[in-house]
Structure 1
């Protein structure tokens, strides 16, 4: 079950965290993995891990907010079966403390970046008459999160794009779903805590962990497992849905 043998999978932001876990698992399941990453050195590490375990992986240094770079990259890849829109950045701030430059930066990476990859990949999928798209949204798309104004905006847009794409390309046999994680323990989280709460790392990590009703953060591998299912043939009847992977955050956090 859940074989991706013979499939070409494009994963953005595959150099670390959730994107890396998805790339590694997809390769393990037989996919030829193409990693699009601004940090090409990090992506090369992911690719090396995949190749050392007998998988196939290719790396493309690319800024997803630049449409021409994205189009050129997808032209090199060709014949995309699976697209995972995972690349994204976060931001701390409210509506009146978020600078315009920061708002635009979050929009450019999280929203425009996803759009650019959709714009490049969908014509390839239409030509084949099949395809699977998975967008990485967030619980912030549907739940108010303190000090996450720009980030919530961007993930709300990703959630809405998921529904629109699923509707528009159903006739082309293209499925589109999204995953909405709560906090997942990645190097990004560790870096965020170190940068913003120096000297309080352990206390803040515990606080963030316990904000999920299950009492811990998610693991990248757990997100990857759900991503594998949604991109596999076994999920062929699923499209236009968002899947919270949140340790009970949305429904039980009261």
Structure 2
């Protein structure tokens, strides 16, 4: 039934992968061709783009389309690279240029590099956190490392915890085709987030953990108590609404022994 909707539509709205300042045209890069079909069938075509999508000249386009296809899907080039420079005969063409906080981002020297993103998704594919948790766990329009940067800067009260969903391994920075220093930006955003009232509870938790880890005997004892107590707690306590981690997933099985105990046991076996 979707094809019939395409045939009957009076306007088509597409995104924009790149816009060329030299010609005034816009380019969409797809593999399924829905953008093409919508634009060619509808009398009105509308292209919505962020201000960071503009590149200077048409001769630069080949570099970016190759980068996008290679890092997004491993292709040499995508199936459809569609150029729109003017409306079709008896049609209309409109381009919507969106700022939505991008100018503010440009003024932040520590974070302006994030505007270089071409939305290839390479940082998502390599991120160990994203691969295990999936996109829905971020609860944001753009997930993964780049989404954690953009979301926490655009709406710090809503996404203040996203920069902490990162191991700071640097794999995203290594794979990024436009060399965005995502791990550095996530670390910097952590420092900013910790100064806000939104992250007050996290400051308390981190300070408590730091004090605990300064005293190995107390840390070991606390671990033993928690491993004994947690399996016996009712689900109403374990899955309390304040336990954000368990709101959408099951708690992991509590191990009977700590890593320290297992390591010591292995050492004792080797000594024999």
TM-score by length of 1: 0.25
Task: Name the larger-Rg structure.
Answer: 2
TM-score, normalised to structure 2, is: 0.24
